[in-house]
Structure 1
Amino acid sequence: MSAESVPVIAVGSVPPDGVVLDVREDDEWAAGHAPGALHIPLGRLPERAAEVPRDRQVYVVCRVGGRSAQAVQALNEAGWQAANVAGGMQAWALAGREMVSDGGDEPHVA
């Protein structure tokens, strides 16, 4: 599967109850993330992939879309149904989608 064939979905098309997988690093996640998202940094995805549901569409985010595209490609090649969220968490924040942070600070994209 080439990078050009990675499925992409607009941030506004991610359903409220969708499975969101955030592949950013711990500090990025702590600053602000989608409520209920699953956090597995990209580098740990091979060892933690079993935590990602196989029976539902998975919406993958990072900061702007590069790391999440890599994750989507790997997941889809391994049998998941995953799509890259266009623009990542930057687009999520710009679209006004709900965000939370660790520690109660105002959530933002780091």
Structure 2
Amino acid sequence: MIDYLDPIPPVRKFIDDLLPERVFGNTFPSTVALPAVLVRNMGGTDYTRLQLLVRANDDITAMQTLIRAMNLLERYGSNIKGLRVLWIERETAPISATDEDTNKPEAWCYMRVETLQD
């Protein structure tokens, strides 16, 4: 039997170690210094779909931070400790939006992650 491994903690730590912005898993804290990055699981069958979401005080910073995080995962995802990554790629282009609760600019994309699990 193959045990499921939650990809959020290793992916969150990997990005957090490489970016100056704070990186969170699953939800932003109620009070968060911006810009900040969020990594959450958005499903997938036989692979994992992650959403990278960046919230910032302006739309340009949100988009630039998202693109840096996205590029780091695509280029160096096989180096994530605690996760045996076969492949990471963008499923969507980066999308600019506004968070409805905070009215802050954000940018997000989906990443497809294929892993081996023990």
TM (normalized to structure 1)?
Answer: 0.33
Which protein has greater RCO, CA pairs closer than 8 Å, 6+ apart? 1
**If the length of structure 2 is used for normalisation, what is the TM-score?**
0.31
More helix by share: 1
Q: Quick check: which has more Rg, 1 or 2?
A: 2
Higher strand share: 2
